Chains A and B, each alone.
Chain A
């Protein structure tokens, strides 16, 4: 079988992918907390909100891009070679994770624009609701990715 793109570097890139994933969890959670606090006291938390909006977008973009680049190696080395037959539930979980990660990445980019262009123009509940949603999605993606990796990882041998 031919090797997929990036297979030879899969293990270090997977570790980097995990590190970025947990950084995305941290920044998305901070963003949600500051959005909730900032809804009541925007003058106090506005700068932190803008900073975590930008950080979350940068981390989510890096994380999503790296995940997309590693996906072909996962598809051949893990899904086709092992999970399809041995753990179909893990395949479903992974497919959910990949698509949810794309949604979280776009939400993070949009929220970075929102927090810098006047969230006070929106109804008070809008920004907390959207940031809590992106934090929950990011947590789900990280947990699903960790779960699947615990079953079988790229670069993990036979």
Chain B
């Protein structure tokens, strides 16, 4: 008959292994959490995390709903993009509301400022882990997020461009979205949306100037 002390001794290597494993898992989780925190707070190499180089673009956004009373209309913007936490858009033209020209939307990582020449300024604070985007069709990423949706397809075009296409049914409507972007850095240069075969939105970059970081 074996004593309880002997039983404990015989199990000792197992306890040591389990303890070591627990320490290892804890350390791994700690490092992972530290990396996530560092990524979210901007600690470390910010440039390495940035999908796009700095750039300035002028783009024309024509869509159903931008015109008076729900009709087609056009807005033209100039976007100064430094990184995913620093950018500024200025409205250069509006086909239906010319008095809104000069409207400025700025994000500096800590706050977003919406300055409308007609209705004044509105400021929204942002926490370090939160962010917004330069436009709904311009989401900083190496590959447009649209490409990650189920059913999306990507094809290479000439001149270093790629085209992401996605189709989905919303209610009874078939919506097709196409984004053309530069393979080199992922910057989109065109977005076309059609609903039941009719073009309902077209965004085109009319001028793009790349900077360096």
Partners in one complex: no
Chain B interface residues toward A at CB < 8 A = none
Binding site for B on A (CB under 8 A): none
